[in-house]
Amino acid sequence: MSEPSDSTDPASTPRPWPRHGSRIGAEYRIFRSRFDDLENPRTGQRMERVVLETPDWVNVIALTKDSQEIVIVKQHRFGSGGNTIEIPGGMIDPGEEPLVAAKRELREETGYVATKWTALQAVAPNPAFLDNHCHHFLAEGAALDETQELDAGEDIVVTTMTQAEAIEAVHSGAISHALVVTAFAQVFDLRRNGIERSLGR
Amino acid sequence: MSEPSDSTDPASTPRPWPRHGSRIGAEYRIFRSRFDDLENPRTGQRMERVVLETPDWVNVIALTKDSQEIVIVKQHRFGSGGNTIEIPGGMIDPGEEPLVAAKRELREETGYVATKWTALQAVAPNPAFLDNHCHHFLAEGAALDETQELDAGEDIVVTTMTQAEAIEAVHSGAISHALVVTAFAQVFDLRRNGIERSLGR
């Protein structure tokens, strides 16, 4: 046990963790494992920690031209073992610009193309063990123009939701993919009803 | 190529993917890999896909009793290889209730305890390859009561930020951990300045 390390100096930053070595682990198609030999600067203790070297991801809030509805993909997800309600997205190819990947994923997964693209703030999906970012985009003026071109590992149902339906789906948990929520939060007010009461603002 | 599969029936749902088998892969302390032998219902093609069996996680927006500031942890993260600004959180222990884990992580990582706890909506960190959820809590009336009890793998700097500072840090990317953003989005309006102009609402 120790005193909180920053009760007097809010500007202090954590110490670096010396890395004494690193070894490559298994390759998993969507990421590769790496094991770093790290030293805790607080205790001097050495430990091995896994990092998944992962391509950057991208996803897109695409609003339809006529009704400003959100283009939605529904698909079976292997991790959760169930269907999800998401926005289009995927892995960025090696050397591909995030915007190019966003346009490609929207077109391939849904057949929609859009006229106006705005980059939103990227997030780190989980800096504890992933080294990547997820890039978010807002695409406006979306219209069905092309046909789907699904990857071998995809079977995707395309639909649209109104903005109000999508916000309600986040509140109910029907939309629960964290990286959909981090995109939506930049465009829609996702606060729970009545939450302001608690906050003393 | 195929026509978008749902242009006429928004109620349709993706087909299930038959699972023909499963084998356990490597154990990584924070998750265990599993390989499922799956069949794409669209093509009949068999493929193996990795799932990381991962404990549920929890994190906490703790607001201080006196000034409604947010309790913040800064730490080196092994995945990103850099320092992050986050809220307290961690893995839920086997059999532990999410609320109990949230109180434990707040106390262990920061020394703070809180008087009023509200469960927020949980999210799926990444249903593509993770099978877990992250549970979010709002903790009010937080005050420094105990001393930190850090795990061997932790070296954490504790501080506080005003709510306005935290929202600005999300906008600037200084706070970029997706699961901090998904918690914040339920309590704070995180929309980018001026984004409403685009949305036709």
Residue B75, min C-alpha distance to chain A (Å): 5
Q: pLDDT at residue B9 above 60?
A: no
CB atoms within 10 A of CB B58: 29
Interface test with A, best of B80, B189, B196 (most A CBs within 10 A): B80
Residues A33, B28: C-beta atoms closer than 8 Å: yes
Residue B147, min C-alpha distance to chain A (Å): 5
Annotated domain spans of chain B: 19-53, 57-184
Residues A30, B177: C-beta atoms closer than 8 Å: no
Please tell me which residue of chain B has the smallest CA distance to A143.
B7
Determine phi and psi for A137, rounding to 5 degrees: -135, 150
Please tell me which residue of chain B has the smallest CA distance to A45.
B152
Residue A201 touches chain B, beta carbons under 8 Å: yes
Residue B106 touches chain A, beta carbons under 8 Å: no
Tell me which residue of B190, B199, B158 sits closest to B70, measured CA to CA.
Answer: B158
| Better-predicted residue by pLDDT, B150 or A199 | B150
Interface of A with B in 51-70 (CB under 8 A): 51-52, 63, 68
- A81 exposure class (CB count in 10 Å sphere: 0-12, 13-18, 19+): middle
Alpha-carbon radius of gyration of chain A = 20
Beta bridge pairs of residue A70 = A63, A161
Tell me the pLDDT tens digit for each residue of A44-56. Answer: 999 999 999 999 9
Q: Taking CB atoms and an 8 Å cutoff, what residues of chain B touch A26?
A: 25-26, 33
Please tell me which residue of chain A has the smallest CA distance to B136.
A178
Report the pLDDT averaged over residues B177-186.
98
CA triple A163-A167-A170, angle to 5 deg: 140
Q: Hey, CA dihedral for B118, B128, A127, A129, is it positive or negative?
A: positive
Residue B41 touches chain A, beta carbons under 8 Å: yes
Q: pLDDT at residue A25 above 90?
A: no
Tell me the pLDDT tens digit for each residue of B36-90. Answer: 999 999 999 999 999 999 999 999 999 999 999 999 999 999 999 999 999 999 9
Interface of A with B in 164-183 (CB under 8 A): 170-173, 176-179, 181-182
Residue B138 touches chain A, beta carbons under 8 Å: yes
Determine phi and psi for A149, rounding to 5 degrees: -130, 85
Residue A95, min C-alpha distance to chain B (Å): 20
Residue B8 touches chain A, beta carbons under 8 Å: no
Q: Taking CB atoms and an 8 Å cutoff, what residues of chain B touch A29?
A: 50
A-B contacts (CB, under 8 Å): 309
Tell me the pLDDT tens digit for each residue of B158-170. Answer: 999 999 999 999 9
CA A153 – CA A155 distance, rounded (Å): 7
Which position has the token pair 């265990």? B32
CA B61 – CA B83 distance, rounded (Å): 19
Residue type, A172: S
Residues A75, B14: C-beta atoms closer than 8 Å: yes
ipTM score for this prediction: 0.92
Residue B77 touches chain A, beta carbons under 8 Å: yes
Beta bridge pairs of residue B118 = B138
Which position has the token pair 């149902």? A157
Lowest mean pLDDT among A3-7, A30-34, A192-196: A3-7
CA A81 – CA B128 distance, rounded (Å): 9
Residue B98, min C-alpha distance to chain A (Å): 17
Tokens of B151: 């795990």
Report the pLDDT averaged over residues A61-82.
96
CA B139 – CA B62 distance, rounded (Å): 4
CA A17 – CA A20 distance, rounded (Å): 9
Tell me the pLDDT tens digit for each residue of B103-127. Answer: 999 999 999 999 999 999 999 999 9
Tokens of B64: 């201080």
**In angstroms, what CA-CA distances link A39 with B58, B84, B153, B154?**
26, 18, 9, 11
Residue A115 touches chain B, beta carbons under 8 Å: no
Which CB contacts under 8 angstroms, 24+ apart, belong to A45-48? Answer: A45/B152, A46/A20, A47/B152, A47/B153
Tell me the pLDDT tens digit for each residue of A96-149. Answer: 999 999 999 999 999 999 999 999 999 999 999 999 999 999 999 999 998 888
Superfamily holding A57-184:
Nucleoside Triphosphate Pyrophosphohydrolase (3.90.79.10)
Residues whose CB falls within 8 Å of the CB of residue A13, separated by 6 or more in sequence, listed in order = B74, B83, B157
